[in-house]
A and B are shown apart, each in its own frame.
Chain A
Amino acid sequence: MIELFDVTKRFGSETAVDGISLRVERGELCALVGTSGCGKSTTLRMINRLIEHSAGEIHLDGQPVRNFDEQALRRRIGYVIQSTGLFPHWPVARNIGLVPRLLKWPRARIQMRVEELMSLLGLPMASFADKYPHQLSGGQAQRVGVARALAADPDILLMDEPFGALDPITRDTLQEELRDLQSRLHKTIVFVTHDMDEALRLADRLVVMDAGRIVQQGAPLDLLRDPADDFVASLLGGDDRGFKEAALTRVEERMLPLSPRLIARARVHREATLRQALAVMFREHADRLTVIDDEDMPVGELSLRRLVGARPHE
């Protein structure tokens, strides 16, 4: 659990972070979003003390971070940055084993852990262990970056725009993998991004920052439905906000049982999002869809009225 109490950071006369309070529960993925220069990266780097806060308190499981030895603190917090920061003179396996080696784990244990992580992140040992970072693609390098951060099995992971430099397809894959990983590992993650779709997709909780302050925080759906002000609303996509909301809800949550009416020709999978269902309707010029399961069996139906959540009397 990470707690920030009234934390402020000043650089000279400039205030980068202005008295923010924040609580990230154990196992929660908290996304810090905002425009560049809003203080989100500074906030992240204060947690592992790469930047020392000027005022307030930051606690890790109830302990002020200032009480920890700087290096010991960082060795128990995973850290992933946009440009990976892999050591160019070390092969992949050695890069991943960095923190366990700093913690003086026995060699055999490091070796085992590196193998375990490489298979977890889809990097076959045989073809990647001895490669140097410059021989990797952007996506592979960031996988190594994530593996390195997870190496000593930290409870907490700090990620500073980890997928910001990747092409859209690779970014999509890695976001999916991170979600998958998180559903198994349940780390406490603070994730900085300016990509709102990424934040909405990954976060359990969204924290919107502007000019060093927290403007609004809460579950993604709550923010989408009830943005605190125009800034949050425009950050969340302005009029496109509805699409983002639709992308957070699954078809099966809205579908109705099959009616006795003629079955609709256009079909959508039950785990698709409402946004995808809307796209199918648009493409098929249909206002009613048949919902199918993995075996292509119809399990329900979804009308346009039902999809947009129109109340019966309107």
Chain B
Amino acid sequence: MTPGLAAGLRRWGVPLVWLGLLLLASLGMAELEAVFRWLEPDSREVIYRRTEFLTLLGRHLLVVGVASLLAIVAGVGAAVLVTRPFGRDFLPLVAQFASMGQTFPPVAVLALAVPVLGFGTLPIIVALLLYGLLPIVRNSLAGLQGIDPAVHEAARGMGMSRGQVLRQVELPLAAPVILAGVRTSVTINIATAALGATVGASNLGDPIISGIVNGNTAYIVQGALLIGLLALTVDSAFERLLGWRRIRFR
């Protein structure tokens, strides 16, 4: 094994183990039939078979990925804009809007979004986007505003343009704090995305909703297990990423 690969494995070992477990559980849920039979002795069917778990996992990831990507672009973008000289007046407004997004329960957003956007994936993406915005905006603001004013002063004084200061100084220095916000946002959204199943966005929430409707605990456990493993995989990957950034310049 080359040293690079060994170091990579050491760094990414934990997330890889979670990822392995996640894939194993998605592909081999049927192997655990005995366990679920014990959990749910009276049902005719104890393994959720309406859709492949792997397909559900893919759709789940897609919804969370799209919503998080939009939240990152909107959140970091808004934080950058309101920390520029021309946008400083909007700082309180943006901070307030983002906290409002978090106080609005995703269920309520779904209920309001469905009549406008129809059933399916779109309303859940909107709900996740709004819900995931706050941690990203809040952390981006904290990261950008937490930069030592002397560093900013020196950067300008040395003759860097505002764009160069942003790209070469502000964003790299704020990155660990911003990433921590993204991590919170994505992890929360992985769990919250399950609600999408109630408005017809098929994902890992399907077995849970179906289990609740049919009174089948085994289905609920299967959906919850996969969502939990997915959240752990992504969260531990972020943890590695953050630790690695910290070592570089703290």
Contacts and interface: CB of A to CB of B under 8 A. Distances in A.
Chain A contact residues, majority secondary structure:
mixed
Nearest to A132: B249
Nearest to A88: B249
The residue among B154, B155, B172 with the most chain A CB atoms within 10 A of its own CB is: B154
B158 A98 contact: yes
Interface in A129-154: 132, 134, 145, 148
Interface in A77-124: 79, 81-89, 98-99, 102
B164 A102 contact: yes
Contacts of A98: 158, 160
Interface stretch (B43-51, B107-115, B145-153, B178-186): B145-153
B169 interface: yes
B172 A102 contact: no
Contacts of B96: none
Interface string A39-81: 0000000001010000000000000000000011111000101
Nearest to A103: B159
B159 A85 contact: no
Given A50-B156, A89-B173, A71 B161 contact: yes
Contact of B154 (A71, A84, A89, A102): A84
The residue among B151, B158, B161, B248 with the most chain A CB atoms within 10 A of its own CB is: B158
Given A87-B151, A87-B169, A75 B248 contact: no
B239 to A, nearest CB: 20
Contacts of B8: none
Contacts, number: 64
B159 A88 contact: no
A22 B237 CA distance: 59
B151 A88 contact: yes
Contacts of B248: 89
Contacts of B150: 81-85
Contacts of B157: 48, 50, 74, 79, 81, 85
A215 B199 CA distance: 76
Interface in B167-206: 169, 172-173
Contacts of B160: 71, 98, 102
B249 A102 contact: no
A195 B173 CA distance: 33
Contact of B159 (A73, A84, A86): A73
A60 B178 CA distance: 42
A132 B172 CA distance: 15
Contacts of A89: 169, 172-173, 248-249
A263 B172 CA distance: 69
Contacts of B159: 71-75, 99, 102
Contacts of A84: 150, 154
Nearest to B245: A89
Nearest to A89: B249
Interface of A: 48, 50, 71-75, 79, 81-89, 98-99, 102, 132, 134, 145, 148
Given A99-B159, A132-B249, A148-B158, 10 more contacts: A71-B160, A74-B156, A74-B158, A81-B150, A81-B157, A83-B148, A83-B150, A85-B150, A89-B173, A89-B248
